[in-house]
Amino acid sequence: MINRNCRFHLQGLIFFFWLSCVIACTPGCKKSSDSSNTPETAATVVLLSTDMNADGTINKSGLQKIETESGASSLAVSFARTRLTDAGLNQLAKFRNLRRVQALGSPLSPEAIEKFKTAVPEVVIIK
């Protein structure tokens, strides 16, 4: 009886050691074929009515929120319960890493959107 228990524990120990080696030696998932070791970062900034001027442009505190996150490789700006105008959209053109603008219900003109997409070609605008 003792030999069976020892043999069972030894097999379990060998299996655990083997499994630990397999896990330790398995390379992790690489999401990018880029050889650089810099991780991709994404940031989302949510702007509220307190971050907006009455004319639909972004005020100083709103722009500061975006500036704080502008070091990310990918940036998204979402306007929550507030409206963005063409002039406000134009303020975002300096953020070349902007990939998404969500401004539901905002009165953005097709001309302003096209002009913005010329400045920031990879952006998706949801209005």
* Digitized pLDDT (tens) for each residue of the chain, 127 residues in all: 556 555 555 565 565 555 455 455 555 544 454 545 556 789 999 999 999 999 999 999 999 999 999 999 999 999 999 999 999 999 999 999 999 999 999 999 999 999 999 999 999 999 8
- Total domains, the chain: 1
* pLDDT given at position 9: 56
Q: Is residue 28 part of a domain?
A: no
Q: Is residue 27 part of a domain?
A: no
Domain that includes residue 74, residue range: 42-126
* pLDDT given at position 35: 47
Q: What is the 3-state secondary structure (H, E, C) of 72-113?
A: CCEEEEEECCCCCCHHHHHHHHHCCCEEEEECCCCCCCHHHH
Q: Is residue 31 part of a domain?
A: no
Q: Is residue 91 part of a domain?
A: yes
Q: Is residue 104 part of a domain?
A: yes
* This prediction's pTM: 0.69
Q: Is residue 29 part of a domain?
A: no
Closest CA to 74 of 102, 97, 96: 97
Cα distance between residue 100 and residue 77, in whole Å: 6
Q: Is residue 53 part of a domain?
A: yes
Q: Is residue 32 part of a domain?
A: no
* pLDDT given at position 41: 87
* pLDDT given at position 4: 57
